Amino acid sequence: MLQGSKLLVFRHPSAGIQLVKGTIEPGEGPAAAALRELREESGIADAANCEDLGLWDADYEGQIWSLQLCTVSQALPESWQHRCGDDGGLDLRFFWHEINAEPSEEWHLLFQRALEQIRRRSGRRSRRLFR
């Protein structure tokens, strides 16, 4: 989820700062899965315009991630908390991270690597659009 030049992230109660992610269900495409996971994990129900940034081999438990950028039509708050159903119910604290800012030590290492991929891929897209 991108708002201006800021990326939506959340603080997991026991696993550091992360990005919204999840599993693509049978019969579901990557964009639809991204919107569903965003709704389930953050409570954002009106996101759209997913932009496919391609597949990324996370080099973790054989996972291949489909990187999707989503947007909403209205501005969202600077931060909020949402209770999601994962692991019996978790309170996730959402906030915006400047896409080009370095991640803090609180970031989960896997999501630091994912952030780098998003930067690279969204940067290539921007250069193509604005030449």
CA–CA distance, 82 with 67 (Å, rounded to integer): 22
On the question of pLDDT at 84 being above 90, the answer is yes
Give ∠ CA 50-78-37 in degrees, rounded to 5.
Answer: 35
Which CATH code fits 2-129?
Answer: 3.90.79.10
- 120: confidence class by pLDDT, cuts 50, 70, 90: very high
For residues 41-53, average pLDDT: 91
Cα–Cα dist 18/43, whole Å: 16
What are 9-24's pLDDT values in tens digits? Answer: 999 999 999 999 999 9
50 pLDDT tier (thresholds 50, 70, 90): confident
Ramachandran area for residue 41 (φ above 0: left; ψ -120 to 50: alpha; else beta): alpha
Q: What is the mean pLDDT of residues 24-29?
A: 94
Can you give the pLDDT at residue 13? 95
Confidence of residue 124 (pLDDT cuts 50, 70, 90): low
DSSP single-letter state for residue 86: G
| Mean of pLDDT values over 27-56 | 93
The mean pLDDT value for 98-126 works out to 90
Kindly compute the dihedral angle of the four CA atoms of residues 33, 39, 41, 42, in this order, to the nearest 10 degrees. Answer: 140
Contact of 115 with 107, CB cutoff 8 Å: yes
Q: What's the mean pLDDT in 72-86? A: 93
Q: The tokens 């969204």 sit on which residue? A: 122
- pLDDT reported for residue 112: 97
